[in-house]
A and B are shown apart, each in its own frame.
Chain A
């Protein structure tokens, strides 16, 4: 779509020509994820995760729709209908395990996708909109996953619903009425279960819509790449199909090996045994924790234990938890470095691997641990660094850091296998190629498909 040398769709038969005139859908697909989309030639396996996330979304929609054929969203029978799926429905156990573990693996994939974006600064101009839409997708996913977890109406479902909707009660003045309105009652009950089912069914289609916008926004500048250097000419790109369809296909196979080994051999490993106890409004499980993919944010929620001025601890925890994700919306403007890739940013790289990643690990661990010392203290320190990383460290590093020299072009980086040239040009110098004897577009022509 975005480069003049992109291959053009050529309908071959009379029928495809007819379709192309009336509704050029095959052309759209060809340009979006086919040979018509030129992609940087140097993408590594971290660039598989967008396609994998798309696969997970489709997987969740398909397994979810068939589960909805057997599930009954009524507080009296919901728990039993899940057991009915597990015991009576043909292949019901497999479909349910596929859906439950599919949610976990969707989050595994999306976290890697997000942290790929953080390391290679995929959020920087001209790709801010892709990143912003991605954060929206992540928020929608969290809401969808939370409501889905309520549906089996076990103890964790019920108390999860109570605690999470209880977060809204922290809002001054409107909090309590808002919580009652969200639940349709004074505690989670049939009304809440019904609406969560309705919304859980609907939201994946909203996500699919935002994913289309995400891909649309992606195709305007084209994909980023591990060097962070923009595409300069045709030699820097290869067509998405067959090159990256094949690479993504291999990644998908690896993903499926891991995913199916959980579905078939560890189906309940990522869940909580308490959720096989029917919901009981009069008895709280000893240890309420959300699903693992919410742990880092749950740790931030619980890190606030002291009131501060007029702000109660509970309200601060809720604000901090949401702010932990909302801060991502500002990343394109917080990180001012002109260099994108973390590979060429020595200081950024240190803070990423020794600051942000361990912090996420600590938050993750503490979010799943009971709310007692030393976990509360650890969460507080980690939450402090988490916000400092984005709001203080990134802006300062982007000013004081001296980045490594960038390669002249993607092709140059690939063919010379070097991470920086001595006479490299800064990122802002685009367009003109250096006139020395370095391999140029003609040498790279070897790697192009015959039809290019």
Chain B
């Protein structure tokens, strides 16, 4: 700092009392500009790792459910992950409704997990909320667990007929994706 003063005593008007020089401004401005520019470069570098347009384009799935009889369920694929579409039996609906909601780990009623007037259609992700395994129970003859819904073989999570977590390590119910009935027999997931 003092060097600059000695070299250009007339050219630069300095406040020698505080050590503030007019040149300080240009130094701070230049370094800040370069710094902000450097940080701005990080944005595309970070953003490129987010899902690309083609991955996002697959984010809705349309499904024909006319062939699914009561008591049956199918595995569909939504965002490269399994989704369970289940046509519940009246007994299963009654079983789910009979549970005291406040006793559940993730309190939700069957009505909250289905669409109004379509309570028999239980649509959930087939991804265990513990560590992401695919639970059993959607296929013919698979183990449905102690509560008649789904059973995850990896770490033993049991889900009931509303796909709510009842026993085991999973923290929440099977996720209900966003979906809507586009007609009585087709459903659009996502």
Contact = CB atoms under 8 A, between A and B. Distances in A.
Closest 9 CB pairs of A and B: A186-B79, A284-B133, A166-B132, A284-B134, A371-B155, A187-B80, A163-B131, A162-B132, A185-B55
A302 interface: yes
Interface in B121-149: 126, 130-134
Contacts of B169: 305, 313-314, 371
A281 B52 CA distance: 19
A131 to B, nearest CB: 31
A305 B50 CA distance: 32
Given A167-B131, A186-B51, A282-B75, 7 more contacts: A163-B131, A186-B55, A195-B49, A282-B77, A313-B169, A314-B169, A371-B169
A412 interface: no
B50 A288 contact: no
A257 interface: no
B55 A191 contact: yes
30 contacts: A163-B133, A166-B132, A167-B131, A181-B49, A184-B49, A184-B50, A184-B52, A185-B51, A185-B79, A185-B80, A186-B55, A186-B81, A187-B81, A189-B80, A191-B51, A191-B52, A191-B55, A281-B81, A282-B82, A282-B126, A282-B134, A284-B154, A286-B153, A286-B154, A302-B155, A307-B171, A313-B169, A313-B171, A371-B155, A371-B169
Residue in A182, A187, A283 with the greatest tally of chain B CB atoms within 10 Å: A187
Contacts of A162: 131-132
A180 B134 contact: no
Nearest to A282: B82
Interface in B154-177: 154-156, 169, 171
A450 B62 CA distance: 84
Contacts of B51: 180, 184-186, 191
Scoring B80, B126, B130, B134 by chain A CB atoms within 10 A of each residue's CB, the highest score goes to: B80
A312 interface: yes
Tell which of A186, A195, A313 has the most Cβ of chain B within 10 Å: A186
A313 B129 CA distance: 12
A411 B82 CA distance: 68
Contacts of B156: 371-372
B124 to A, nearest CB: 15
> Does more than half of chain A's interface fall in helix, strand or loop, or is it mixed?
loop
B79 to A, nearest CB: 4
A30 interface: no
Interface of A: 159, 162-163, 166-167, 180-182, 184-187, 189, 191, 195, 281-284, 286-288, 302, 305, 307, 312-314, 371-372
Contacts, number: 75
Among A159, A185, A302, A307, the most chain B Cβ lie within 10 Å of the Cβ of A185
A386 B126 CA distance: 36
A181 B50 contact: yes
A288 B154 contact: yes
B128 to A, nearest CB: 8
B190 to A, nearest CB: 10
Contacts of B155: 302, 371
A314 B171 contact: yes
A167 B132 CA distance: 10
Given A184-B52, A189-B55, A282-B75, A159 B81 contact: no
Contacts of B59: 186
A222 to B, nearest CB: 39
A286 B130 CA distance: 15
Contacts of B79: 185-187
Nearest to A186: B79
Contacts of B134: 282-284
A178 B116 CA distance: 33
Nearest to A280: B134
B80 A371 contact: no
A316 to B, nearest CB: 11
Contacts of A186: 51, 55, 59, 79-81
B55 A184 contact: yes
A312 B79 CA distance: 27
A186 B58 CA distance: 10
